[in-house]
């Protein structure tokens, strides 16, 4: 399971804001995915919600569907018992998701994803939904790409992220430790990926930074389309 921290710049409001159109994405062809947990090509993934209002469900569906045009999968929203079960329960567990088909091993009574919907800005909420559903499709953290250029100031990371309630093992697992390259499919590192955490200069030894990525990048779209390529067009007779 992957836990996702709230952006360092996150502030407040509620989950009842009117949707806004995201700015245009930037163009990159990059990404990283866990190969063992990809969904079967052309399959239908049932998605259900719990502890979320009808308005919230509509908003989540809209955000989840941003991935739909780029995958050879069908998203089918159901009332209960989905393959992916998204919870909005106010339990302070933050944002997290099982990776791809890892969700199949979760008891049907339990969620496979949680979205934190309390005291969160609209931009942070958009990022959380898009990011977590990227995990649900098999994508991993971009800042843990084996070839990332980030020179972490580890003590600063432990101090700053620790104040958000994360312990060292969690910080290592979700931020600092590169993913073993033998378990993943990669293309070039993408600093614009929605799967990338915000990186402020204080967290690096050389001032390197990555901004808050609210949008699914062009690199994300191309990477996920590589993982779930469209079926070949039928031959003309």
pLDDT along the chain (237 residues), means of 10: 49 28 30 86 97 96 98 98 96 92 97 92 96 97 94 97 93 91 83 97 97 97 94 59
Gap between the Cα atoms of 79 and 208, Å rounded: 44
**Has residue 16 been placed in a domain?**
no
As a residue count, the chain comes to: 237
Report the mean per-residue pLDDT for the chain: 86
Supply 70's token pair.
């780029």
> Chain centroid to CA 18: how far?
22
**Residue 14: per-residue pLDDT:** 28
Supply 87's token pair.
């919870």
**Residue 157: per-residue pLDDT:** 97
**Has residue 160 been placed in a domain?**
yes
Closest CA to 39 of 223, 224, 216: 224
State the total domains in the chain.
Answer: 1
3-state secondary structure of 84: strand
**Residue 27: per-residue pLDDT:** 25
Host domain of residue 93: 28-227
Give 54-112 pLDDT, tens digit per residue.
999 999 999 999 999 999 999 999 999 999 999 999 988 889 999 999 999 999 999 99
**Residue 5: per-residue pLDDT:** 53
**Residue 233: per-residue pLDDT:** 57
**Has residue 1 been placed in a domain?**
no
**Has residue 8 been placed in a domain?**
no
**Residue 1: per-residue pLDDT:** 60
Supply 120's token pair.
């969160």
**Residue 33: per-residue pLDDT:** 82
**Has residue 13 been placed in a domain?**
no
Gap between the Cα atoms of 112 and 33, Å rounded: 18
Beta-sheet strands, E only, within the chain: 2-4, 32-34, 44-50, 74-77, 84-87, 95-97, 113-114, 184-186
**Has residue 14 been placed in a domain?**
no
* Residue 103's CATH number: 3.40.390.10
């Amino acid at each position: 399971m992957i836990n996702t921290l709230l952006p360092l710049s996150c502030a407040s409001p509620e989950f009842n804001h009117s949707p806004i159109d995201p700015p245009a994405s930037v163009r990159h062809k990059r990404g990283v995915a866990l190969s063992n947990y990809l969904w079967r090509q052309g399959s239908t993934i049932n998605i259900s919600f719990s502890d979320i209002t009808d308005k919230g469900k509509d908003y989540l569906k809209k955000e989840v569907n941003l991935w739909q045009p780029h995958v050879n999968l069908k998203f089918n929203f159901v009332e209960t018992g989905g393959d992916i079960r998204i919870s909005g329960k106010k339990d302070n567990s933050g944002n997290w998701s099982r990776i791809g088909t890892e969700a199949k091993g979760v008891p049907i009574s339990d969620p496979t994803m949680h979205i934190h919907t309390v005291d969160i800005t609209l931009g942070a909420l958009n990022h959380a939904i898009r990011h977590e559903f990227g995990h649900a499709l098999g994508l991993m953290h971009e800042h843990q790409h084996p070839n990332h250029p980030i020179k972490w100031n580890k003590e600063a990371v432990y101090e700053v992220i620790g104040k958000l309630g994360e312990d060292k093992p969690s910080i290592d697992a979700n931020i600092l430790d590169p993913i073993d390259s033998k378990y993943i499919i990669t293309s070039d590192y993408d600093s614009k990926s929605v799967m990338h955490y915000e990186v402020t200069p204080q967290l690096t030894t050389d001032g390197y930074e990555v901004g808050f990525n609210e949008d699914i990048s062009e690199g994300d779209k191309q990477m996920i389309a590589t993982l779930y390529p469209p079926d070949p067009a039928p031959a003309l007779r």
